[in-house]
Chains A and B, each alone.
Chain A
Amino acid sequence: MRLHSVLRTTTKLLMPPIMLFALYVQFHGDYGPGGGFQAGVIFAVAFILFTLIFGPVRARRVAPAWVTTPLCAAGVLLYAGVGLVTMALGGAYLDYDVLAHTPLHGQHLGILLVELGVGLTVWAVMVSIFLAFVGRDTGALADEADTDTDTGADTGAGDGHA
């Protein structure tokens, strides 16, 4: 890949606009088409492109497992946490009206936070899955060779029947 200077340069040029566009889709989601899911995917696309050109080792240096794995969970927590907060403030689950002094501001704030949670999780999961596939990645969830005591002679005789 060292010699493909066109690919390398184009990737470097494209990455900032892709990420910027992702952020636009993320934060403009309340007013136009877009939202957390799409933004997370677009943001992940930038990392996937980077991985394709520069390889999984360098990609893992940018997005190490100790960042991506907790973020997978953090996004869901942010999303569900907003719901718990609205409950604690006296509303129904995910009823953003109660989040601020007026329902309008509450709705803005609520959807912003929830979409941010969605975006974080989608980005982290996309990057984790992609790197796991490309690099036989030894991230948080890699399996260990596990020798067991089962005789392992189960022939599955029933498979042909029924």
Chain B
Amino acid sequence: MPLVQNLPALQVVLPLVAAPLCLFLRAPRLAWLFALAVSAAAFAIAVSLTVSVTEVGAFTYAMGGWAAPWGIEYVIDPLDSFILCLVTGIATLVLLYAGPSVEAEVPHRLIPAFYVLFLLCLTGLLGMVATGDAFNLFVFLEISSLSTYALVAMGRDPRAQTAAYRYLILGTLGATFYLIGVGLLYMMTGTLNMEDLARRIPAVADTRTISVAIAFLAVGLALKLALFPLHKWLPGAYTHAPSAVTAFLAATATKVAIYVLVRIFFTVLGPIEAFQTLPAAVHETQVVGVLAIIAMLSGSAVAIFQPNLKRLLAYSSLAQIGYMVLGISMVSVTGMTAGLVHMVNHAMMKGALFMALGAVVLRIGSPRIERLDGIGARMPVTMAAFLIAALSLIGVPGTSGFVSKLYLVRAALEDQHWIMAAAVIVSSLLAIVYVWRIVEVAYMRSPPADARPVREAPLVMLAPLWVLALANVYFGLETTWTVGLAEDAAGFILTYVPGEGPLSEHPALEELLEGVNGGGHGPAAEEGAH
């Protein structure tokens, strides 16, 4: 088998192998460069996978040569390659940025361990996206989560440990709920392969076991992606984690969790329309959409009153997660496209904002607003990038934020969801308020008289920051790539039909399946469900 065919495996294995190797590199700078090279290679793999997917369509990879549904299968489809590019691209930029930032914020002897954990986290996120197996997804979810808890705890503020502990408890609850949900699905279908699950679930859809499984999956994943009201872990974790970690988490971790939500609810549970049948909270709007609206409004409103800018941006992230989930909850191609486009755009804007803030923390020592008087004049290059990303966060025309909000409002109007459209606009107005607070402090006030002069952040930090800031402008004007890929992925996911599968070739298995099919509505299965 030529190496090229192994790319789906290498995508995940490369950072997995690199992580323990990092532990042996005692010199912090060496570990940094090594991790950077690895994530750049992972990005190259993701790009080549995207090219293959656009050329030949979705393809699979059988781990260890064991054919699905018995073995673990990796599936790369348009949605996967889209997210893989996003995660590896952001990881590369953040790692480039991390060098000086981590040296300043993480104790010296922990730095090699920091890069080990960072690469493990990357492994987990990539594995969650690449795998086509519901249990394998849980394993990668835990790999990324466990390393994230430790990364958050490395923040220099002692409160980082409390925040990490809270994140640990809630994150573990979320993962456990996911596992219980998958366990219940397995109980009814006897399979863990996602495509195979999608094939078999319709036969047993009306059982109570499947309903309970859907409930556990929904709550578990909502915890992981920090959907209101299950978001309590997020502000603390983002505020106290080292700056590079915050930038990475804000730009990737919650995005991958949203990806998993889409994957589970629209492919695995897609044939039984589980997402559409989640309880309706307010007449035709179902509960997820309502929660998304509350997240958008409350997140933006709370952000206005935060004195710590990292916490302010964390609350703003909660609101932005609301936008993405809102788009998905409309269950239309435009809505899904809007949600997916905002995933990428938000990754770019929040990545840039947290990076800029990290550069400020490096030079000023604090992300608190009262320390930042006149910072626009003291660190003009950093703050200009911050300003661009902040305008994108509001959704000013010409930035990527505008594109996602345009699609979101269009999708809402298409289906006559007037309240949703209004909520997007009100939340954007609230964003103007909290961004203006920062702009006023940074540009309208003069630096304190006793302020010592500060230098700009080093070039390795400014370069990725500006790449992301300019990406916000570029993807605000040129939308063929983001919107095009998102539309492909949205169309693919909403019309997902599981393939035929190998089952019909095996008479014994067919008989077995018959048993499940026939018993699904019968008394035997009902008994099993109770």
Please report A residues at the B interface, Cβ cutoff 8 Å.
69-70, 72-74, 76-77, 80-81, 83-84, 87, 90-97, 140-144, 146, 148-159, 161-162
Q: Is B524 an interface residue (CB 8 A)?
A: no
For B6, B9, B302, B368, the residue with the greatest tally of chain A CB atoms inside 10 Å of its CB is B6
Give Cα distance in the complex from A77 to B159, angstroms.
34
Residue of B nearest to A80 (CB): B17
5 inter-chain pairs at a CB distance below 8 angstroms, sorted by A residue, are A92-B61, A94-B63, A95-B64, A148-B157, A161-B302
For A80, A93, A152, the residue with the greatest tally of chain B CB atoms inside 10 Å of its CB is A93
Contacts of B16 in A (CB 8 A): 76, 80
Residue contact A150 to B366, C-beta cutoff 8 Å? yes
Q: Is B24 an interface residue (CB 8 A)?
A: yes
How would residues 100 to 144 of chain B score, 1 for a CB under 8 Å from any chain A CB and 0 otherwise? 000000011110010010000000000000000000000000000
Residue contact B23 to A70, C-beta cutoff 8 Å? yes
Contacts of B157 in A (CB 8 A): 148, 150, 152, 154
Partner of A162, one of B64, B110, B299: B299
Give Cα distance in the complex from A151 to B365, angstroms.
8
Residue of B nearest to A152 (CB): B157
Partner of A154, one of B21, B23, B311: B311
How would residues 228 to 254 of chain B score, 1 for a CB under 8 Å from any chain A CB and 0 otherwise? 110100011001000000000000000
Give Cα distance in the complex from A143 to B157, angstroms.
12
Give Cα distance in the complex from A149 to B363, angstroms.
11
Q: Is B517 an interface residue (CB 8 A)?
A: no
Partner of A92, one of B9, B302, B365: B9
Residue of B nearest to A145 (CB): B107
Query: Count the A-B residue pairs with Cβ separation under 8 angstroms: how many?
Result: 117
Give Cα distance in the complex from A63 to B61, angstroms.
41
Give Cα distance in the complex from A162 to B159, angstroms.
20
Residue contact A87 to B110, C-beta cutoff 8 Å? no
Decide: A93 near B17, CB < 8 A? Known: A154-B239, A158-B235: no
Q: Is B44 an interface residue (CB 8 A)?
A: no
Decide: A161 near B3, CB < 8 A? Known: A74-B20, A80-B16, A149-B366: no
Contacts of A73 in B (CB 8 A): 20-21, 23-24, 116
Residue of A nearest to B298 (CB): A162
Main secondary structure of the interface of A (DSSP, over half): loop
**Shortest CB–CB separation between residue B460 and chain A, in angstroms?**
22
Residue contact B156 to A148, C-beta cutoff 8 Å? yes
**Shortest CB–CB separation between residue B499 and chain A, in angstroms?**
20
Partner of A157, one of B3, B21, B306: B306
Give Cα distance in the complex from A91 to B365, angstroms.
52
Give Cα distance in the complex from A23 to B63, angstroms.
28
Residue contact B366 to A76, C-beta cutoff 8 Å? no
Give Cα distance in the complex from A70 to B112, angstroms.
13
Q: Is B65 an interface residue (CB 8 A)?
A: yes
Residue contact A141 to B110, C-beta cutoff 8 Å? yes
Partner of B365, one of A87, A149, A157: A149
Residue contact B6 to A87, C-beta cutoff 8 Å? yes
Give Cα distance in the complex from A162 to B62, angstroms.
45
Main secondary structure of the interface of B (DSSP, over half): helix
Residue contact B371 to A151, C-beta cutoff 8 Å? yes
Residue contact A97 to B306, C-beta cutoff 8 Å? no
Residue contact B6 to A93, C-beta cutoff 8 Å? yes
Q: Is B449 an interface residue (CB 8 A)?
A: no
Contacts of A154 in B (CB 8 A): 157, 159, 239, 307-308, 311, 368
Give Cα distance in the complex from A96 to B368, angstroms.
55
**Shortest CB–CB separation between residue A20 and chain B, in angstroms?**
29
Residue of A nearest to B9 (CB): A93
How would residues 13 to 40 of chain B score, 1 for a CB under 8 Å from any chain A CB and 0 otherwise? 1001101110110000000000000000
Give Cα distance in the complex from A72 to B318, angstroms.
36
Q: Is B97 an interface residue (CB 8 A)?
A: no
Contacts of B19 in A (CB 8 A): 76
Residue contact A141 to B17, C-beta cutoff 8 Å? no
Q: Is B315 an interface residue (CB 8 A)?
A: yes
Residue contact B1 to A143, C-beta cutoff 8 Å? no
Give Cα distance in the complex from A151 to B369, angstroms.
12
Give Cα distance in the complex from A148 to B362, angstroms.
11
Decide: A92 near B6, CB < 8 A? Known: A73-B23, A150-B365, A151-B368: yes
Give Cα distance in the complex from A140 to B23, angstroms.
10
Give Cα distance in the complex from A161 to B371, angstroms.
24
Residue contact A69 to B307, C-beta cutoff 8 Å? no
Partner of A158, one of B62, B110, B311: B311
**Shortest CB–CB separation between residue B29 and chain A, in angstroms?**
18
**Shortest CB–CB separation between residue A12 and chain B, in angstroms?**
34
Residue contact A92 to B65, C-beta cutoff 8 Å? yes
Contacts of B6 in A (CB 8 A): 87, 92-93
Give Cα distance in the complex from A159 to B159, angstroms.
13
Q: Is B305 an interface residue (CB 8 A)?
A: yes
Partner of B305, one of A69, A70, A157: A157
Given contacts A87-B10, A154-B308, 5 further A-B contacts (CB under 8 A): A80-B17, A92-B62, A150-B157, A151-B371, A159-B236
**Shortest CB–CB separation between residue A89 and chain B, in angstroms?**
10
For B1, B229, B305, B307, the residue with the greatest tally of chain A CB atoms inside 10 Å of its CB is B1
Contacts of B110 in A (CB 8 A): 141, 143
Decide: A146 near B20, CB < 8 A? Known: A91-B1, A156-B311: no
How would residues 341 to 372 of chain B score, 1 for a CB under 8 Å from any chain A CB and 0 otherwise? 00000000000000000000000011010010
How would residues 47 to 90 of chain B score, 1 for a CB under 8 Å from any chain A CB and 0 otherwise? 00000000000000111110000000000000000000000000
Contacts of B298 in A (CB 8 A): 161-162
Give Cα distance in the complex from A141 to B318, angstroms.
33
Give Cα distance in the complex from A84 to B13, angstroms.
9
Contacts of B64 in A (CB 8 A): 92-96
Give Cα distance in the complex from A159 to B1, angstroms.
54
Contacts of A142 in B (CB 8 A): 109
Residue of A nearest to B106 (CB): A146
Contacts of A70 in B (CB 8 A): 23-24
